[in-house]
Amino acid sequence: MNIIEYITANLPEFLSLVATGVFAGILAGLLGVGGGIVVVPVLFFLFQSLGVSAESAMLVATATSLATIVPTSISSIRSHRKRGNIDLPLLKRWAPYILFGVITGSWLVTRIDGGWLTILFGLVASLSALNILLRKNKPAPFSQLPGMVGQSAIGLSIGFFSSMIGIGGGTISVPLLSIYNYPAHKAVGTAAAIGLIISLPGALTMLLIGSTPVDAPAGTRGLVNLTGFLTITPLTVLFAPVGVLIGSKLNNQTLKKVFAVVLLITGVRMLLEHFI
C-alpha cells in the first residue's frame, strides 16, 4: 500500500491529525504551550476510536505529544526571540531543575497506568485555567519571583508534571509566572524555550525505554506513535509563527483569557472522560 492509498483508507483519522497539527501550531506560538494541550486530548480520543484502550491511548498520546513539541518549540523559539520575548537569564537558572524533573517524570510514565495520567492532565489543565480566570481583574499576589530555592522548586515541578502529561511547560509555567507579576508576553516566549527542555529528553526517554502497549495503534515505537508524529509535526512548525503573530496583536488580558478558556475546556473534558 502506497502513501496515497494509506491516506485514502484512513481519511477521517488523517484529517483529524492534520487539524490537530494546524491548531496545535497556532496555540504553540500564541500561548507558548508547545501544542501539547491540544495534541494530547485529540490523540487520546482518536486512538480510542481506533479500538485502543483508554489507558494505552493516554500513554501513547502523552509520548507522541512530547515528540511533536520538539520541532514546534524550535520554530516558536525563533519567532519569540526576534521579538525579545525570551528571558535567557531565567531560563539558565531554571534549566537544570526542569531537566531533572523531566527525566524523573518521563521514567515514571513508562512505569504507571495511563488512567492516572488522564486524571493528572485534567486536574493540571483545569486548576491552571481557574487560577487565571479567578485572578483576571486582581493584582498579582507577589511582586517578584521567589529566591533560588523557590525557583528551583518551580523548575522541578514544571519539568516533572509537564513531561508526565505530554505538554510543553507553558500550561504550568505561564500561570506560575503570572502569579509573580511577570509580563505575559515574556512568560509565553520563555515558556516556548522551556518546552524544548521538556520535550526532547522526555520524548527520547519514552521512545527508547517505554514498552509498546499490546493494543497500541499501528506505527507505535516505544510509546511514540510515529504516524501521528510525522503528520502533526510539519504543520505545527509551519503554523507556530502564525500564533506568534496573532499573540503580538493581543493585549496581556486577552492573551490570558484565551489561554485560560482553552485550558478549562480541555481539562474538564479529560476528567469527564475518565470518571463518567
pLDDT band at 192 (very low <50, low <70, confident <90, very high): confident
Q: Which amino acid does the sequence have at 237? A: V
Q: Which amino acid does the sequence have at 152? A: S
pTM of the prediction?
0.84
- Amino acid 3: pLDDT: 61
CA angle (232, 235, 240) in 5-degree steps: 120
What are the tens digits of pLDDT across the range 194-206? 989 999 999 999 9
More confident site: 252 or 71: 71
Mean pLDDT of 114-126: 85
CB neighbourhood size of 269 (10 A): 15
How far, in Å, are 29, 42, 90, 269 from residue 33 at the CA level? 8, 15, 17, 18
DSSP run (H or E) holding 21: helix 11-31
DSSP 60-95: HHHHHHHHHHHHHHHHHHHHHHHTT---HHHHHHHH
How far, in Å, are 28, 170, 194, 262 from residue 141 at the CA level? 27, 20, 24, 24
* 229 in Cβ contact with 43 (< 8 Å): no
How far, in Å, are 9, 70, 226 from residue 2 at the CA level? 11, 28, 17
Domain boundaries, the chain: 11-275
pLDDT band at 84 (very low <50, low <70, confident <90, very high): confident
Does the pLDDT at position 1 exceed 60? no
3-state secondary structure of 17: helix
**Cell representation of residue 13:** 483519522
With b for 16 or more beta-carbon neighbours within 10 A and e for fewer, the 160-191 pattern comes to: bbbbbbbbbbbbbbbbbbbebebebbbbbbbb
What are the tens digits of pLDDT across the range 241-271? 888 788 777 766 677 677 778 778 878 877 8
pLDDT mean across residues, the chain? 84
Does the pLDDT at position 60 exceed 80? yes
More confident site: 270 or 107: 107
pLDDT band at 236 (very low <50, low <70, confident <90, very high): confident
pLDDT band at 31 (very low <50, low <70, confident <90, very high): low
Mean pLDDT of 109-119: 86
What are the tens digits of pLDDT across the range 129-148? 787 777 656 677 788 889 99
